[in-house]
Structure 1
Amino acid sequence: MQAEQMWKVSRGEGVTVAVIDTGVDGSLPELRGQVLEGTDVSNKPTGAHVDSEGHGTNIATLIAGTGVDGGIQGLAPGAKILPVKAVPDSQADAVDALMARSIRYAADHQARVINISLAGDGDAVQYANTQTAVDYALGKGSLIFAGSGNGGDKGNQPEFPSSLRGVVGVGAIDRQGKAAKFSTYGNQVGLVAFGEEIVAHCEKGPGYCIGRGTSQATAIASASAALIWAKHPDWTNNQVLRVMMETAGKPAGAKMPSKYLGYGSVRPRKVLVDGEGDPGPADVNPLLAANAPKPSPSVSAPNSSSAGKPIAAEPATDDGIGTIAWVALGAGAAVILAAAVGFGVMRRRAKATYPNQP
């Protein structure tokens, strides 16, 4: 991505990126001074800076890690991280309400970019509160990126919240620029970013892991938006998204959007260094315009944004109780220790149940 060139123009200064995830450990060298207070939105909170899973911390480092003391260097090291912990307790938390609170908190605390590297499945009507929160955040001027999921080679079911109207679903590509086999595809994919062989702190034990997933791709998309917004602070969410779509990398002669690549792979360098991309009107959402005449959100604001995408649907269980698997969308491959190489899995799963809504 030629980050060094971009950093001469923008490092993401002045932009807050909310990381709705498993928490963020701000004590890591590369995250010191980068992490704001944040909140834990669960009904049994343990603290926004407590991350027993390690997933949210790794996402934060990819976005805003400074690389200090040999730590991970993020793509937007000048940005600040707002940690919003959203780990559900199966006895205390309805996931729809949990995610809705997370998004509203982020929007109310000046997060221009909201990163959601989590996914779940379930009946569409179970996400009514989250959809309303998405509309609210877009009306407040935020951009929301969410991983499309890692089930492209395992049934390829659309996943929440990337499939909600107004959320930019992010898929993963490999080193050849092709859609990664695991990346969930469909019309919920708005953009893609690199999601293979990415270094992260091992989630169990010391050392570094080589990971993959739409979690990582989403972090890169969010960091790209932060870089662009820092350079153009007067642009609206619609304008930042429009230039990201216009400058996205596309296969020669390909018809876009593609169900695998959306509008292409994020290339903030084309905006920051090459000066490409027309921001266009402040009050017209490019995804919504591209998908007209699909319905607009219930909340309308001058700079509101909404992608006309269907909500992911899956039949409810026979007893009328929907079950959601809250998956951190990053899978680890190789664990790197001194002179030895081992293998581990970085995928994390937590379950919560809640009644279907009418």
Structure 2
Amino acid sequence: MRWLLRTAAAVAAIGLAAAPLAPAHATPGPRADQWWFDSWGIQQDVWPITKGKGVTVAVIDTGVNAQLPDMRPVVIPGIDLTGNGGDGRQDTDAYKHGHGTGMASLIASQGTKTGFVGIAPEAKILPIVASLSGTTTGKAVRYAVDHGAKVINISEASESADIYPNQCPPQLLEAIEYAAAKDVVIVASAGNSGDFNNKPAYPASCPGVVAVGALGQNGKPWKSTQRQPYVTVGAPGADVGWINKDGHAYNAGEGTSQASALTSGAVALIRSRYPQMPARQVVQRLTATAKDFGPPGKDDLLGYGVISIPRALKQNVPSSAPNPVYERLDKVAGAKKAGAGTTKTAAEKDDSGGFPILIVVGVVVVLIVVGGVVFLVMRGRKKPAAPSGPMPGPMGPPQPFGAPQSGPQQSPYQSGPQQRPPAGPPAGGPQNPPPGR
């Protein structure tokens, strides 16, 4: 599901006259309504260390309007995987909000026209237009990995995760494993129906993904953020503005989409500061340095806590610290290997003593031949009786072990029985948010 951004009634475009004057090539300060800058100490504690230089963030969404002055310097050519052609530098959002542009603006907007600034303004944005489905999103993830992204943001969610093994479409899970092997961090929005139906939503529910819940300026979880065990961390998502595809800056909005985008920006800042740090360690550091808001300890709203960018940049985390995102992914990968190994071992050995099966078969054949010769010799001493009926014909082809399957064959892409999706629109298409959202 693409979550629509709920905006406040008082929304205005901020023109050039409203943007603060800044020296050439300098990043302007944030607008007064970008409260997360003060909460994270971005200007004081983060930007003196890093602004995201050298890191490409892939935004899998509706595309990004690269013609906007705020976005033009940072958006590089991407791809449109919906079949419409193009390189992702146009926003195809059918709802006319510009969801992809909005997420990219939270990460790397330059603030040159609107004054709205991203938290990692020196990072690059790789736009990928893709509908949400296991197949297409998996292709988008692989494209991002193969085209230099070190962070992938997916501010989308489909509430059909429960029909899949591991709450993740198999094709997408394979792409996530590919990204992990290639040292790329994936971040996704946890979902926006926590106070409605609270269904598990992929890709946030997938192993190997940093799932982000939302909170407001008051430090409390946003009322609609998903309550699910897969939530990893929290980030600002309520009262968070953005820039739409027409270049208008909004002063308010709410959703885990924004929380995911800001977390992707935070990961870009860490990866810029520590370019040799593996993705696993980056996520471990982000999780271990999070601040515990909400219920004490790990909870289903904000996970292990709200990310703290200054702490993640400055505090060392022991290698023995928990790393739940990759621990879950490794567990799934280990289960796959164990299942494959068991079949091979059983086929290689004989149950009765470890003799190679070919030797056992050879012994049996010899015994049958010897027995047959003895039988014929003994029989030859008597006069054979005339046959009383037709001789039996040759045996038919060997039968397969077990009863033949009469129903649908199991999909080679699923680890369990094939399941039918629920009635209604396909999972890859846009889904309707809860009423009033």
Q: For 1:269 and 1:328, how far apart are their aligned partners in 2? A: 37
Q: For 1:144 and 1:292, how far apart are their aligned partners in 2? A: 12
Partner of 2:57: 17
Superposed, 1:27-176 pairs within 5 Å as 27-53=67-93, 54-87=98-131, 95-122=133-160, 123-124=163-164, 127-176=169-218
Q: Which moved more, 1:142-151 or 1:173-182?
A: 173-182
Given that 2:192 and 2:256 are in contact with CA atoms closer than 8 Å, whether structure 1 keeps it comes out as yes
Alpha-carbon offset, residue 298 of structure 1: 8.0
Alpha-carbon offset, residue 201 of structure 1: 2.6
- Aligned residue pairs, count: 309
Q: Which runs of 5+ in 2 are unaligned?
A: 1-39, 338-418
Larger Rg: 2
Partner of 1:316: 421
Closer, same or farther in 2 for the Cα pair 1:101/1:189, shift >3 Å?
same
Q: For 1:85 and 1:167, how far apart are their aligned partners in 2? A: 20
Alpha-carbon offset, residue 52 of structure 1: 3.2
Over the aligned positions, Cα root-mean-square deviation in angstroms equals 3.1
Q: For 1:268 and 1:129, how far apart are their aligned partners in 2? A: 32
Establish whether residue 264 from structure 1 lines up as the match of residue 264 from structure 2: no
Partner of 2:332: 295
Partner of 2:430: 326
Q: For 1:98 and 1:327, how far apart are their aligned partners in 2? A: 16
Higher helix share: 2
Establish whether residue 211 from structure 1 lines up as the match of residue 253 from structure 2: yes
Letter in 1 for 2:152: I
Closer, same or farther in 2 for the Cα pair 1:225/1:151, shift >3 Å?
same
Alpha-carbon offset, residue 185 of structure 1: 1.6
TM-score, length-scaled by structure 1: 0.78
Letter in 1 for 2:198: N
Q: For 2:283 and 2:242, how far apart are their aligned partners in 1? A: 27
Q: For 2:196 and 2:295, how far apart are their aligned partners in 1? A: 29
Q: For 1:174 and 1:253, how far apart are their aligned partners in 2? A: 15
Q: For 2:294 and 2:422, how far apart are their aligned partners in 1? A: 44
Helix, strand or coil at the partner of 1:31: coil
TM-score, length-scaled by structure 2: 0.64
Q: For 2:188 and 2:420, how far apart are their aligned partners in 1? A: 22
Q: For 1:295 and 1:109, how far apart are their aligned partners in 2? A: 26
Q: Which runs of 5+ in 1 are unaligned?
A: 89-94, 301-313, 332-344, 348-358
Given that 1:215 and 1:328 are in contact with CA atoms closer than 8 Å, whether structure 2 keeps it comes out as no
Higher strand share: 1
Helix, strand or coil at the partner of 1:111: coil
Closer, same or farther in 2 for the Cα pair 1:205/1:261, shift >3 Å?
closer
Given that 1:135 and 1:297 are in contact with CA atoms closer than 8 Å, whether structure 2 keeps it comes out as no
Percent identity, aligned pairs only, is 34
Alpha-carbon offset, residue 278 of structure 1: 1.5
Partner of 1:311: none
Closer, same or farther in 2 for the Cα pair 1:291/1:46, shift >3 Å?
closer
Closer, same or farther in 2 for the Cα pair 1:280/1:205, shift >3 Å?
closer
Letter in 1 for 2:270: I
Given that 1:247 and 1:270 are in contact with CA atoms closer than 8 Å, whether structure 2 keeps it comes out as yes
Closer, same or farther in 2 for the Cα pair 1:278/1:114, shift >3 Å?
same
Alpha-carbon offset, residue 71 of structure 1: 3.6
